[in-house]
Every structure is written in structure tokens, then in C-alpha cells.
Amino acid sequence: MAFVAMTGWTPLRIAERGLKWLWGKSKPLTVAAVVVIGTVHVTSYIKKQKRRKKWNNAGKDVVVLHMFPRGYFCPNLSPFVVKLETYLRMAKIHYQVDYEEPIGPKGKCPWITLNGEEIGDSQLIIEKLGSKYGKDFSSDLTPEQYAIAHAMRVMVDEHLLWCLVVWRYIVDGGASLSICMKFPVFFRILIPVFRRKVKKAVWMQGIGRHSFSEVEEIGRKDLSALSAFLGENTYLMGDKATEVDCAVFGMLSQIIWNSPNSPYLKMLDTEFTNLHAYCQRVKEEFWPDWNDCLVQPFPKCQ
């Protein structure tokens, strides 16, 4: 108090002086930071607008499919990209691919641009395209068959997926990704960051609380159900391919071509061989240009 009385320097005045001093010292740095951040934002905004202009010029009713870059052994490392691209082929819908902006309006890959509209989520996209182009391959199914196909699709998209996520990012630590896809050094550095994000996600989802062997058994039961249901059929719902085949093929494609050394690949090779043969059939039917959709040349290790 005596100090305040003698000098007239209240705590408020001291703080005010301190802030003024700090601003004086760091003004050039603050201005430089604002200019750099502003320039980066404006430049990326302009680039984003240019890309949109290009996609909107793709042509009326032409789908622009935004995805991660192609892989060495499978056209994509995302089961949902393979699912959606298989559907586009099944439905013979004219489409173009884009690798510049793989993450879409819902913060996920894949997404599409159609006549200027941006749509996210493989399933919602398939349903929307199905009604727009009149390509509903499940319309002949009975309500009971339809319900089974729906349950199978959800099991694969929302359950088996997590078993693969645990293997790919936690057990395998993303190692198979760098074998199966050309990863720029920058992205390799980001794998541990993504791994941490996945660890949090699987914990929240719940599957991350199980041991690896428990997760493996959970995955085995899904594959076993698919295998038993497929039996000797050509496609899941019989002789004719339907939407559920796109989802199942998309997910199994990740096991067969993008998960070397995974326990699930061993299961398909030994226990559930009809699923392996089924994937070869879907590939032959809808991906005659499979090899042209891969990054060449293959790495020496394979």
C-alpha cells in the first residue's frame, strides 16, 4: 500500500504499462503473423474456388468422386471409396475422380460433387444417386431380404470396419498403409498423429477397450456370418449384384489387397474361402480395368 501511495502505481496501471510494453516489442511479429496467416487463408480460398469451378464444369449429371489417391494393389485405401466406386460402375453412372480434396463437407472421405451440390457419406450418396438415376438394384428383394441386406451392410460398414481400424492403425501401426500406398514423407510423419486420433476414436466407440485377440474374434464372427450367408451364391442376395455387394466388396477389398499379414486375410485364405472367391468375382465383373486404377510400378517388395 505504501508503494502505491508513494508512486501512484496501482496494479491496474502496472498491468496497463506491461501490456503496452509487450505490444511495442512484439508489434512487428504480430503484424507479420497476421499477414502470413491471412495470405495462406486467402490463397487456399482462391484455390478451393478454382477447384469448385472445375468440378462444376464436369458436365451435367456427371459425378465427381473425391477420394484419397490410388494404391498399389487396391484402387483405394478407404473401404467406402471402393464401395461407392463399385456402385457407380454397377449403375453405369458417368463419373470423374479427384484426388485434390479427399475430405468433404462432413470431414470424411469419400464425397461427391454433382451439378454443383456437395454430398458426403457413401451410403447417403448411393441412396441419392439410386433415386436420381433410377438405379435401385435392391428393388426386386422381398421386404425380408431387404432387411437382411440392410443388416449385413450395417454390420460391415459400422462393425467389421472397427475391427479393421484397430488392426490397421493400432496393431499394425499403419505399416501396411505405407506398403500399399505411395505416401509422401509429409504424410508418413502424420501417421503417428492420425494413430493417436484413431486410438481416441476406438476407445470412444468401445472396441478399443477390448484386447487385440478379442477384437480378432469379433471380426471373425462378422466374416463367418458373411461367409455362411453367401454360401454358394454368386452375390450376397443371389444371382444379381445389389447395393450390399458394394459395401461388402469395399470392406473385404481392404483385407485382401491392403492388409498383408493381417489375421483377417489369413481367415479369408483358410476358413472363409468363398468370400475370397466372391471378391475375385466382383472385381472381374465391375473392375475389368482394376490394374489401370492402381499406381504403377508396383513396389519391389511385393
Ligand X SMILES: N[C@@H](CCC(=O)N[C@@H](CS)C(=O)NCC(=O)O)C(=O)O
| Residue 108 in contact with ligand X, rule: CB under 6 A | yes
In the bound complex, what is the minimum distance in angstroms from residue 163's beta carbon to ligand X? 14
Smallest CA-to-CA distance from 122 within 134, 106, 143, 133 is with: 106
Q: Hey, CA dihedral for 46, 47, 50, 52, is it positive or negative?
A: negative
- Per rule CB under 6 A, count of chain residues that contact ligand X: 8
Of 87 and 287, the one with the shorter C-beta distance to ligand X is: 87
Between 86 and 122, CB nearer to ligand X = 122
Q: How many CB atoms lie within 10 A of CB 196?
A: 11
Report the DSSP beta bridge partners of residue 113.
64, 118
Build a one-symbol-per-residue string for 68-107: x at contacts with ligand X by CB under 6 A, - elsewhere: ----------x-x---------------------------
b/e 107-137 (16+ beta carbons within 10 angstroms → b): eebbbbbbeeebbbbbbebbeebbeeeebbb
Tally of CB atoms within 10 A around 281: 14
Among candidate residues 60, 226, 85, the one with its CA nearest the CA of residue 149: 226
Query: What residues contact 65, with CB distance under 8 A and at least 6 apart?
Result: 81, 84, 85, 88, 95, 96, 97, 98, 110, 112
Among 73, 88, 101, 123, binds ligand X (CB under 6 A): 123
Site track for ligand X across 32-71, x = CB under 6 A:
----------------------------------------
Nearest distance in Å: CB 122, ligand X: 4
Q: Which stretch binds ligand X (CB under 6 A): 14-22, 121-129, 169-177, 286-294?
A: 121-129
Under rule CB under 6 A, residue 121 binds ligand X: yes
Which one of the spans 50-58, 117-125, 146-154, 170-178 is the region binding ligand X (CB under 6 A)?
117-125
CB nearer to ligand X: give 113 or 227: 113
CB-nearer residue toward ligand X: 65 or 109:
109
Q: Is 109 among the residues that bind ligand X (CB under 6 A)?
A: yes
The region of 49-57, 115-123, 261-269, 277-285 touching ligand X under the rule CB under 6 A is 115-123
Query: What is the sign, positive or negative, of the torsion defined by CA atoms of 258, 264, 270, 274?
Result: negative
User: Within its chain, how far is the Cα of 42 from the centroid?
Assistant: 27
Nearest CB to ligand X, comparing residues 227 and 245: 245
157: phi > 0 → left, psi -120 to 50 → alpha, else beta; which?
A: alpha
Strands (E), 211-276: none
Chain residues binding ligand X by CB under 6 A are 78, 80, 108-110, 121-123
